[in-house]
Amino acid sequence: MKIGELSARTGIPPRMLRYYEQQGLLESERALNGYRAYGEADVQRALRVRGVVQAGLSTRMARVVLDIERQCELESPPECSLALAEELAGELEALEERLACLTKSRDAVARYLELSRHGDVVAALSANQVARPA
């Protein structure tokens, strides 16, 4: 698929997909005409990249995390220097703090809506999340 189709399927603008590729987070083949060509697996990879970056990781750290995920899937023993382990521990702590903050904000918004006359909106959202596979 071309970059436009990947963009349409992921909701990620082509410019951002090119940036991800420049940063080594996404790869494409090149057709004879020079156009980028992506495979089906690149849809999930692009979505995962966007999620990790939106979670607050730098693109450099996102690349590290995605490589770690790939290693874990292969069940090969990870190679990790002490410096990288310390850096990852710092990222883990920052992620935990962001998760706590987001959870508190989510709960406050949900509680506010539940107490308002539009509590049914929250119930409908919760029902949709339960019905959707993770």
pLDDT per residue as tens digits for the range 69-108:
888 887 777 778 899 889 889 989 988 998 999 999 989 9
Q: Which class for 63: exposed (0-12), middle (13-18), buried (19 or more C-beta within 10 A)?
A: middle
Cα dihedral 46, 49, 50, 53, rounded to 10, equals -160
Average pLDDT, the chain: 87
Spell out the domain ranges in the chain: 3-79, 95-134
Instruction: Select 3-79's CATH number: 1.10.760.10, 1.10.1660.10, 3.40.980.10, 3.40.50.300.
Output: 1.10.1660.10
Q: CB under 8 Å to 66, separation ≥6 — which residues?
A: 25, 48, 49, 52
